[in-house]
Chains A and B, each alone.
Chain A
């Protein structure tokens, strides 16, 4: 099973700041089947990024993904008030599929 480790666990930031979230896999991916989700309280996850770097439909371009192999990153170029949420990475290439433990981005 591929274990995804996200860091940090929590980030305290102000609107307008740039944020970089990390997701490290326990083994290398042969294809970049890595996604990022945003989840707000009481709502299902929302797909932001798939294929490590492709934005999902209607996702603002302040969200970007990068990485390959075992190290992946989600960057939010400039935090908007609606971006404060929990972010999860997810690998969907090798069964069992797995999620990272999440990073909470909270208002400082």
Chain B
């Protein structure tokens, strides 16, 4: 069974760092991009970027480039999304999802989401 399991909810203060995770199982981890999507409270979906776990090649949305870092550890089939200095505007639900590397495909399996709350 394909699963993407994300780390638990986080409460942080502005300026703090954070790394959340997304563990894939039940499929060939290096055959699928991991994509990260932000959903701010009551708002729509925003594509942040993705990573090819086979070689760590990444794409970022211009809206998120420089503010977050996407990484992966294929030895433990886990992808990460990290911030070095959180802002209150980073408060959101963050989802990971997978899609094929070989050809463009839509994300078919999603993680359950990680809620990040940034508040002083």
Contact = CB atoms under 8 A, between A and B. Distances in A.
B53 interface: no
A102 to B, nearest CB: 5
Contact of A98 (B47, B49, B95): B47
Interface of A (DSSP majority class): loop
Contacts of A100: 44
A45 B45 contact: yes
Contacts of B60: 96
Interface string A28-52: 0001010101010000111100110
Contact of A101 (B44, B61, B62, B95): B44
A99 B44 contact: yes
Interface string A54-93: 0011000000000000000000000000000010101011
